[in-house]
Copies of this chain bind each other. A is one copy, B any other.
Amino acid sequence: MPPLTNGQGALSPRAIPEAAVARLAVYLRVLSGMKEQGITTVSSEELSVAAGVNSAKLRKDLSYIGTYGTRGVGYEVEVLIDQIERVLGLTREQSVAVVGIGNLGHALANYGGFPGRGFPVTALFDVDPDLMGVPVGGIPVNHIDDIASVCAAKEITIGVIATPPAAAQVVCDRLVQAGVECILNFAPVVLQVPETVEVRKVDLAVELQILSFHQARRADSAPSGETAPQPRSNGRVNGSPRHSVENRPNGAVVRR
């Protein structure tokens, strides 16, 4: 591979693949759990099992952020935590605003400290006048018309859209105008944003439909009893007792 001219300029950190970033977040959580248990050192094998990935992949992911392992020993849990937090930008806290205080908005507002802290929800918005002032999860609800001033005052960097679909694009536009460049969208809508803005979406219906697809597949390939709730012999037929775990496309783990 030639010296990696990643377009970005020259001194850009390293260009970490998106997929690796997502996994780093998972590693971070697992590591936090280990730290609480008093574990100070971990090998790539152990960590990979706990995170449900291949150990080679894990090592490659970690190599993107630097060289912090000790050969023959493993990684120091705290060092890894610090470094991943650094790369993910968790050193400076990001303030989160939630727009749309329905059921989901409530849930998000009460989420409070996330595991491993770092994302305080500090502003809530809605259009319903009845909600104004009433604090939800300790945070007062503001009217969406005040979004610009409130976001500026509270230095909001992440906006969460939890509105009905019809309102999502308008809300998104307002967030962008207020200077928010990171948006997490729960509304089942394809948002249009300027290219400076980063959007991630969480789409419940899509997730369920994907599950439905696999369910249908299963039903097709084994057309016998359908929902017949067999007592589940469940096998646990342990053929090869080597690695008790195997990777899954989605990061879940197969228990054998």
Contact = CB atoms under 8 A, between A and B. Distances in A.
B254 A192 contact: yes
Identical chains in the assembly: 2
A255 B29 CA distance: 35
A4 interface: no
Interface stretch (A34-42, A67-75, A123-131, A194-202): A194-202
Contact of A215 (B94, B104, B107): B94
A135 interface: no
Nearest to A116: B205
Contacts of A200: 207, 210-211, 250
B255 A205 contact: no
Given A25-B210, A51-B190, A119 B205 contact: yes
B21 A158 contact: no
A26 B255 contact: no
17 contacts: A16-B213, A18-B210, A25-B205, A26-B203, A88-B209, A94-B212, A114-B204, A118-B212, A152-B229, A157-B227, A158-B212, A176-B232, A178-B229, A179-B227, A191-B252, A192-B245, A196-B218
B26 A190 contact: yes
A140 to B, nearest CB: 18
Given A13-B220, A151-B229, A193-B252, A181 B21 contact: no
A106 interface: yes
Interface SS of A by simple majority: mixed
A190 B252 contact: yes
Given A111-B204, A229-B179, A190 B253 contact: yes
A93 to B, nearest CB: 9
Contact of A251 (B107, B111, B115, B201): B201
Contacts of A219: 89
Most B CB atoms within 10 A — which of A87, A165, A206, A230?
A: A206
A86 B242 CA distance: 40
